[in-house]
Structure 1
């Protein structure tokens, strides 16, 4: 009796070889458990056909068949995630969103790849998508042992397709926010470039995260100023609230030099200030002015 016959159309010989190796590993596992299985894997013009037969009636006593289906489903799911998923995402982006610029298109796909992840053991999203596929594939094999992978993806994987579409939508939103951020920073850079310095020096103490403390040249606190004719849009109403207040104040007082005292120069808030004020910024990792503060807060 034929237990299953699974056909997969691969895009090139390299993909066919990768999938064949996955099938070979699964076949070895199946043979260890069920010696009487007859398993085959053939490749013709990039079509991989995986078949499995069992003629011993004793095999069908118990839950052996479902265990075989689970092994097959997990193998096919892994193949889909590793080799087909990227093309599915690209298709969704191309058909449902209007980004004709190749560079923008690639930036969005880069966001997608970061979200999708490539490590099934460490990525929660990967594991969730894998479980969706395994469940759907196993159900299909139970109903009918003949399966075409592309047909399954087109007609029998709605939950998985919905998840991919949501990932693409999120990546598009992230891209648009990043583009808005770059435009926002560019506007402020232009404004600062033509602004004459009004005070010689401002110290910025990076307290951690988004928290910043502004001090004048005598290390006295600077009062945060409201918008004085400079349009400072909020990029994020909560996470960047402190950053917006600091940017507004720094633009208002227009220091000739800004010394940023930080133990985390890689943080986004520090990069933002450096981008806006460029040559006026100096990063300090350690000096007498900030030593006492960081020692008290345990950030030395």
Structure 2
């Protein structure tokens, strides 16, 4: 006696495996079902039936199991396919590489720890209820068709995630281009100092020393930083500005663990690449530690 027929796109191999695993779990709970596969082009239907009336009495429980399995497939696998479709439809002016990067960002947003515990769980519960209600009146469910016609809100929310991913991608692209320009500028200019030692104190402030560990202060540093006095600068901005103006041949960063933001260090590395060295302990570090 056939109870339900579930259509899964063939490209979702993991979805099929997940469904088969879920059906096996049902058997361990004493619900004996048989599954016959019916391949119809791009979709494989899993036809679920029972052989005895005792198992048929568990129809409500079977629907709940199936609804749970399908809702899991939707929020963890179909969502990735939908994200790709949304990008292809609304952001077709990006090239294939850019689209993939945007998709990766969007999937990362959905799969981070916070969203996994909030967005996905909440959406799965709502989708579970929708599927369970649908299966009360329908024996056949095409998962992809169900999503397209019954879960418009879910698609809308994924569209918002894609919009956010596009914004993040464009910001990152702009940042990378800016870093590229700074790197090019640094490579063109002559170094004003051979070696610059940067000590990060326990408050995250930067102190500058020459190759002999003598403090760099006063007029020299003022002349350098005055070039970048067009607006308010954070400590990190001032660090980057000073380094660009000095264009040191070598940069040694001491007590990097005291940095308030690791982004500043990443930016310095991107601009100056092989000129940057992270100190793991030296006489300058020791002298600073002794003064604490």
TM-score when scaled to structure 1?
Answer: 0.74
2:48: which partner in 1? Answer: 51
Task: Give CA-to-partner distance per residue, 1:85-117, whole Å, 9 cap, x none.
Answer: 322111100101144322212222222333333
1:228: which partner in 2? Answer: 227
Q: Are residue 30 (structure 1) and residue 62 (structure 2) matched?
A: no
**C-alpha contact (below 8 Å) 1:117/1:125 kept by paired residues:** no
Shift, 1:153, TM fit? 0.8
Q: Are residue 192 (structure 1) and residue 192 (structure 2) matched?
A: no
1:103: which partner in 2? Answer: 97
TM-score when scaled to structure 2?
Answer: 0.76
Shift, 1:203, TM fit? 2.4
**Structure 1 residues 50, 291: closer, same or farther in 2, change over 3 A?**
farther
Helix, strand or coil at the partner of 1:191: helix
**C-alpha contact (below 8 Å) 1:204/1:258 kept by paired residues:** yes
Q: Give the alignment partner of residue 127 of structure 2, picking from 133, 150, 169.
A: 133
**C-alpha contact (below 8 Å) 2:2/2:50 kept by paired residues:** yes
Q: Distance in 1 between matches of 2:179 and 2:290?
A: 33
Helix, strand or coil at the partner of 1:41: strand
Shift, 1:57, TM fit? 8.4
**Structure 1 residues 44, 24: closer, same or farther in 2, change over 3 A?**
same
**Structure 1 residues 256, 27: closer, same or farther in 2, change over 3 A?**
closer
Q: Are residue 261 (structure 1) and residue 254 (structure 2) matched?
A: yes
Pairs aligned (count): 282
**Structure 1 residues 106, 65: closer, same or farther in 2, change over 3 A?**
same
1:238: which partner in 2? Answer: none
Helix, strand or coil at the partner of 1:228: helix
Task: Give CA-to-partner distance per residue, 1:170-203, whole Å, 9 cap, x none.
Answer: 2211211111111111121122222233344432
1:237: which partner in 2? Answer: none
**Structure 1 residues 173, 294: closer, same or farther in 2, change over 3 A?**
farther
Shift, 1:276, TM fit? 1.5
Q: Distance in 1 between matches of 2:65 and 2:287?
A: 61
1:146: which partner in 2? Answer: 140
Shift, 1:50, TM fit? 3.1
**Structure 1 residues 38, 205: closer, same or farther in 2, change over 3 A?**
same
Q: Which has the higher helix share?
A: 2
